């Protein structure tokens, strides 16, 4: 066999292996979110099967996928290198290192919400989350938005809470984004395990308003100043994780230009408005054009609907933010300005109080 024949055979073998791996992956972005389940498979098995062929691809690039435990939980493999802090995840010393929520142990677990994301560890021992951003053209807007505001100069502005896009991996028609693994969900800020004070929670709200696009937020750690017994000495940074149905307006756009119509759709979500699960205000449900910034504020405030600070000025502002009349509803800049003014007039110690949960249920700030 000639050298050219050997090279052709190797090329054919490599192409066959690549095609085989691609054939095992979901054909569409929607199927990544919700893989097909047969009678013989449960949903978790179907999710795990999606990522299994990708292990060699990511290992070649220095990312070792975490190991599946049970349910929807993943953790680093026992043979992994010693973990190194990346600056995005911390635990309260009051929680210690035991197997309890909010502890260091909790940082090294990952609860999968769907098959779009998987945790991994780099060769240097830093933990990341790999997320499917696009399949073909579907999701390309999401990837473009992240390349614009989660990398480069814009990523260094202090009021940009977008989680950094560390790297992208292209495989055939699929684009994967690599992000640092952040500590905890803002969803857990109250009504769950975290003993956060009103001051802790309102600071998270303030940061969300700095970048109010959607209600998918993570936080480095939960201050739990009620558990500490004093106001927090330092506050964690909140990160926005998802721009899947966001709209990127040009820098030259005025506030009046930032309009949209219809229910936000696209990405891995079905193209069926009846399957949209988030609440929407009347101006969006009407089918007419509306200001996209005011939708963000309404949905953010709506996710805090069962939170009561017991500080009248703060609770009144939250009510205004979820006003069904968009003309009376502030945009994010005005809401942030008002909240800043309110907080500047309140002694820090006055915020060191527990929140009140309305309707005896936790909020839902992240999906």
pLDDT (0 to 100) of residue 238:
96
Domain check: are 154 and 190 in the same one? no
Last residue of one domain, picked from the residues 180, 198, 213: 180
Q: What is the per-residue pLDDT across 46-56, written as a single tens digit (0 to 9) for each?
A: 888 889 999 98
Closest to 182 (Cα-Cα) out of 220, 139, 215: 220
Closest to 213 (Cα-Cα) out of 136, 176, 160: 160
Last residue of one domain, picked from the residues 161, 180, 199: 180
Domain check: are 103 and 191 in the same one? no
In a domain, 367, yes or no: no
Cβ–Cβ under 8 Å, residues 213 and 243: yes
In a domain, 37, yes or no: yes
Cβ–Cβ under 8 Å, residues 221 and 188: no
Structurally, how many domains does the chain consist of?
A: 2
Parent domain of 169: 19-180
Burial 3-19 (b: 16+ CB within 10 A, else e): eeeeeeeeeeeeeeeee
Domain check: are 103 and 198 in the same one? no
Domain check: are 105 and 166 in the same one? yes
* Burial degree of 334 (CB within 10 A; 0-12, 13-18, 19+): middle
Domain check: are 162 and 55 in the same one? yes
In a domain, 6, yes or no: no
Q: Which residues contact 136 (CB under 8 A, 6 or more apart)?
A: 173
Residue count of the chain: 367
Provide the CATH number for the domain around residue 263: 1.10.510
Burial 77-97 (b: 16+ CB within 10 A, else e): eeebeebeebebbbbbeebee
pLDDT (0 to 100) of residue 365:
45
Structure tokens at 294: 């005011």
pTM: 0.86
Domain check: are 135 and 199 in the same one? no
Domain check: are 163 and 236 in the same one? no
In a domain, 290, yes or no: yes
**How far is CA 323 from each of CA 8, 296, 326, 327, 342, rounded to the nearest angstrom?**
66, 12, 7, 9, 19
Last residue of one domain, picked from the residues 132, 148, 180: 180
**How far is CA 47 from each of CA 19, 41, 116, 139, 275, rounded to the nearest angstrom?**
20, 10, 9, 20, 21
Structure tokens at 27: 């054909």
Domain check: are 24 and 83 in the same one? yes
> Using alpha carbons only, what angle is made at residue 47 by residues 41 and 48, rounded to the nearest 5 degrees?
90
Domain check: are 139 and 47 in the same one? yes
In a domain, 147, yes or no: yes
In a domain, 229, yes or no: yes
Handedness of CA 80, 89, 164, 258 (dihedral sign): positive
Domain check: are 174 and 189 in the same one? no
Closest to 176 (Cα-Cα) out of 126, 115, 249, 86: 115
In a domain, 292, yes or no: yes
Ranges of residues in the chain whose predicted pLDDT is under 70: 1-21, 38-41, 79-81, 212-215, 360-367
pLDDT (0 to 100) of residue 62:
94
What is the 3-class SS of the chain, one letter each residue? CCHHHHHHHHHHHHHHHHHHHHHCCCCCHHHHHCCCCCCCCCHHHHHHHHHHHHHHHHHHCCEEECEECCCCEEECCCCCCCCCCCCCCCCCCCCCCCCCCCCHHHHCCEECCCCCEEEEEECCCCEEEEEEEEECCECHHHHHHHHHHCCCHHHHCCCCCECCCCEEEEECCEEEEEEECCCEEHHHHCCCCCCCCHHHHHHHHHHHHHCCCCCCEEECCCCCHHHHCCCCCCCCCEEECCCCCCCCCCCCCCHHHCEEECCCCCCCCCCCHHHCCCCCCHHHHCCCEEEHHHHHHHHHHHHCCCEECCCHHHHHHHHHHCCCCCCCCCCHHHHHHHHHHHHHCCCHHHHCCCCEEHHHCCCCCCC
In a domain, 4, yes or no: no
pLDDT (0 to 100) of residue 36:
79
Domain check: are 220 and 171 in the same one? no
């Amino acid at each position: 066999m000639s050298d050219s024949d050997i090279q052709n055979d190797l090329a054919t073998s490599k192409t066959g292996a690549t095609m085989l791996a691609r054939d095992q992956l979901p054909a569409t972005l929607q199927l990544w979110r919700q893989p097909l389940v047969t009678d013989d498979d449960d949903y978790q098995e179907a999710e795990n099967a999606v990522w299994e062929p990708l292990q060699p691809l990511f290992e070649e690039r220095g990312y070792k996928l975490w190991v599946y435990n049970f349910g929807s939980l993943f953790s680093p493999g026992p043979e992994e290198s010693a973990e190194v802090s990346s600056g995005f995840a911390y635990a309260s010393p009051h929680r210690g290192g035991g197997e309890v929520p909010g502890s260091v142990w909790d940082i090294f677990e990952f609860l999968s919400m769907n098959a779009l994301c998987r945790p991994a560890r780099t060769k240097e021992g830093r933990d990341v989350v790999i997320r499917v951003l696009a399949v073909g053209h579907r999701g390309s807007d999401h990837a473009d938005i992240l390349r614009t505001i989660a990398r480069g100069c814009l990523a260094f502005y202090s009021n940009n809470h977008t989680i950094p896009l560390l790297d992208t991996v292209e495989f055939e028609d699929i684009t994967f984004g690599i992000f640092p693994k952040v500590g905890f969900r803002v969803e857990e800020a109250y009504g769950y395990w975290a003993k956060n004070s009103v001051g802790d929670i309102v600071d998270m709200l303030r940061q969300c308003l700095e970048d109010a696009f959607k209600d998918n937020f993570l936080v480095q750690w939960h201050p739990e100043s009620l558990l500490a017994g004093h106001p927090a000495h330092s506050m964690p940074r909140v990160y926005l994780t998802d721009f899947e149905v966001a709209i990127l307006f040009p820098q030259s756009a005025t506030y009046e230009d930032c309009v949209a119509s219809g229910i936000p759709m696209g990405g891995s979500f079905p193209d069926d408005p009846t399957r949209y699960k988030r609440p929407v205000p009347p101006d969006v449900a009407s089918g007419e054009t509306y200001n996209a910034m005011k939708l963000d504020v309404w949905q953010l405030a709506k996710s805090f609907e069962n939170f009561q600070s017991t500080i009248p000025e703060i609770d009144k502002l939250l009510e205004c933010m979820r006003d069904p009349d968009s003309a009376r509803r502030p945009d994010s800049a005005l809401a942030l300005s008002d909240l800043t003014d309110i907080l500047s007039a309140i002694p820090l110690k006055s915020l060191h109080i527990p929140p009140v949960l309305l309707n005896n249920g936790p909020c839902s700030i992240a999906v």
